[in-house]
Structure 1
Amino acid sequence: MESSFRRGAREGMRDFLPISVGLVPWAMVTGIAMRSIGLSPLEAMGMNLLVYAGTAQLGTLPLIASGAPLWLIFLTALVLNLRFVIFSAALAPAFHGHRFMRRLVSSYLLVDGMFAIGADKLRRADDAQWRWGYYIVPSLYGWGLWQCCVLVGVLGAGVIPRDWSLEFMTTIALMVMMIPMLRERPMWVAALVGGLGAVLLRELPLRLGLIAGIALGIGAGFMAERALARRAAR
């Protein structure tokens, strides 16, 4: 193990540890939610290992519980995870030259928090071993922490008091991870329009208001970016 890998791993863990605290309530809520719709502990943990995307899991669980058609469940999960296409494209240069299996594992482990704290450093760093250590060690730690805390939620679904308000803590955790990404005007526009759209359209059937809000946010962000580009070209 090269020293540059260890340096990257130490710095990655130092950056990721504070934000990883937010994974604890979020994972517990996910575990509780999976049990609340009738999944067995084995089914819940199987879904957690297969999906490993808290937002998609929480977003599709009400649809699963209501017996929504499979195409809608699939579409909802796809839309909720569209941001990872952007994240992956942004991080792709940092993994140039790595083996396919390493890139495949890295894509599975990618989470919002890792992108928020590490995207700039990974793109700027020249040392491939440092980049790999910076990314993979905190990512594996985050995966292990998520699995353990989801398991706590799954096994303690009937024990954890409802007045702990874990859902509110999860919302705060998501906001903490989102704020570092809001560096430019188009991202602010996308977040505001998407959030307002999801709230105003929340009465749509089958929770389609969430999908509509995401589509509105993406469209607004794209138009804002195009408008800024045209202004800069003048």
Structure 2
Amino acid sequence: METTFRSGAREGMRDFLPLSVGLVPWAMVTGIAMRSIGLSPLEAMGMNLLVYAGTAQLGTLPLIGSGAPLWLIFLTALVLNLRFIIFSATLAPAFHGHPFMRRLASSYLLVDGMFAVGADKLRRAQDPNWRWGYYIVPSIYCWMLWQCSTLIGVLGAGVIPQGWSLEFMTTIALMVMMVPMLRERPMWVAGLVGGLGAVLLRDLPLRLGLIAGIALGIAAGFAAERVLAGRAAR
């Protein structure tokens, strides 16, 4: 068990490590953004520990800062995190037979980057100990790196020069994680429709354009998948 666990952990870290380049500035931007809307350092880190989802945090912070209704904040976070239902369902077989608390911890630590770089290997690997090492070690590393980098942003919100343009690095980080997921046509359709929808509907009140774009992307992806499945069945 120890040998296969270490082997999986080493390969998981080797696959995930390049994402750290984008993860650090993304977390720092999140910390700065939480402080910019008036959260105290304790509140900001509390949210960071509880939510642990950078996209949902950045997506809901403008709503929190503008005093938007609580239902809209929850709805926005829910929509932004819907992808994790698909991620979890895809990875579930890799954790079959593991204790409940281990699976619960795995769900909390699941991030886009881990799914992007490791989903295929986790599904193909036969050794459960190798799979556990491959998943849990880089996931814990990611959690620690995110918390520490966010703390730097929280504590340095008034010191870090805005000219550093860390927001640009956040976009790069998202693109790095998204590209490996675009392996099939339905994913391309969902990404293109969702992106165009969010841009074209950006002027909707209460930032509802983002939610509408996500909904359009999901619907387009499902439609494309059904069309392709129908063609294949003929």
1: CA distance between counterparts of 2:113 and 2:152?
21
Structure 1 outlier segments of 4+, above 2 Å: none
The amino acid that maps onto 1:61 is L
2: CA distance between counterparts of 1:65 and 1:224?
37
Contact 1:27/1:153 (8 A) holds in 2: yes
2: CA distance between counterparts of 1:107 and 1:156?
30
SS across alignment from 1:22: helix
2: CA distance between counterparts of 1:5 and 1:172?
32
Residue equivalent to 1:156 = 156
Structure 1: segments with no counterpart, 5+ residues: none
SS across alignment from 2:126: coil
| 1:74-102 C-alpha deviation (Å, 9 max, x unpaired) | 00000000000000000000000000100
Report deviation, 1:19: 1.4
Structure 1 position 96 matched with structure 2 position 96: yes
Contact 1:20/1:113 (8 A) holds in 2: no
1: CA distance between counterparts of 2:75 and 2:20?
28
Residue equivalent to 1:72 = 72
| 1:83-139 C-alpha deviation (Å, 9 max, x unpaired) | 000000000000000001000000000000000000000000000000000000000
Residue equivalent to 1:116 = 116
Structure 1 position 12 matched with structure 2 position 6: no
Residue equivalent to 2:145 = 145
The amino acid that maps onto 1:33 is A
2: CA distance between counterparts of 1:2 and 1:163?
47
The amino acid that maps onto 1:114 is M
1: CA distance between counterparts of 2:131 and 2:117?
13
Residue equivalent to 1:132 = 132
Identity of aligned residues (%): 88
2: CA distance between counterparts of 1:189 and 1:163?
35
Which range moved further: 215-224 or 12-21?
A: 12-21
Q: State how 1:45-84 maps to structure 2 within 5 Å.
A: 45-84=45-84
The amino acid that maps onto 1:128 is P
TM normalised by structure 1 equals 0.99
Residue equivalent to 1:182 = 182
2: CA distance between counterparts of 1:224 and 1:19?
30
Structure 2: segments with no counterpart, 5+ residues: none
Aligned residue pairs, count: 234
1: CA distance between counterparts of 2:45 and 2:218?
32
